[in-house]
Amino acid sequence: MKLLYARTSPYVRKVLVVAHETGQAAAIETVPVAATPTERNPETVRHNPLGKVPTLVIADGTALFDSRVICEYLDARASGPRLFPEGDARWDALARQALADGLLDAALLLRYERVLRPAAARWDLWEAGQIAKITAALDRIEATLAEPVGGLDIGAVATGCALGYLDFRFPDLGWRAGRPAAAAWYETFSQRPSMQRTTPQD
């Protein structure tokens, strides 16, 4: 399998964490590609018309995307405990993944606004709107983590990668303030070998 990836992408990190947690990291060849919203990478577009990473190319040449599909594919191939559980636990795990991914969607839009858009064209209300989404998602994560949580699942992986991305790109947001449960949970989760091995780097 080949994974088209960018080391700074939190969605790529989610896939790599799942690969490590399911014992499949060694079976994946990582292929670094440049990817921005304004410059389409020919290698990525050849496999994924959206031009986004992560994109996983499996043995028969089929390309899988986005991170949610790739993570579920890797989980289905694994022989150990499932990160995508069955029954009611599945919907809870998927809902927490969706919340974390939604936080990341807003964070990436905020990143693009601050870094890629020319200063004269930046829109303060747009930035405020993305920050409001991030804040609301963090508050929901705090409320969820204040309750007893189960073991490792895709919701936990997605949440850990989302909080890690805020540390990486938005330390100024100070997401831990007023969120002791989320801060304590992340302090523990971030020490997992899968998280340590996938720390984003510029």
DSSP string, 55-68: EEE-TTS-EE-SHH
Q: Which residue's entry shows tokens 């919340």?
A: 99
Same domain, 185 and 92: yes
**pLDDT tens-digit profile of 51-75?**
999 999 999 999 999 999 999 999 9
pLDDT higher for 22 or 34?
A: 22
Average pLDDT over residues 131-141: 98
Q: Binning pLDDT at 50, 70 and 90, where does residue 191 land?
A: very high
What separation in angstroms does the CA of 202 have from each of 8, 9, 59, 168? 6, 10, 30, 10
pLDDT at 148 over 80: no
Q: Which domain holds residue 111?
A: 88-196
Domain of 138, CATH number, reads: 1.20.1050.10
pLDDT higher for 107 or 36?
A: 107
Average pLDDT over residues 172-178: 97
Q: Which residue's entry shows tokens 């780097």?
A: 201
Same domain, 125 and 38: no
**Residue 47 three-state SS:** helix
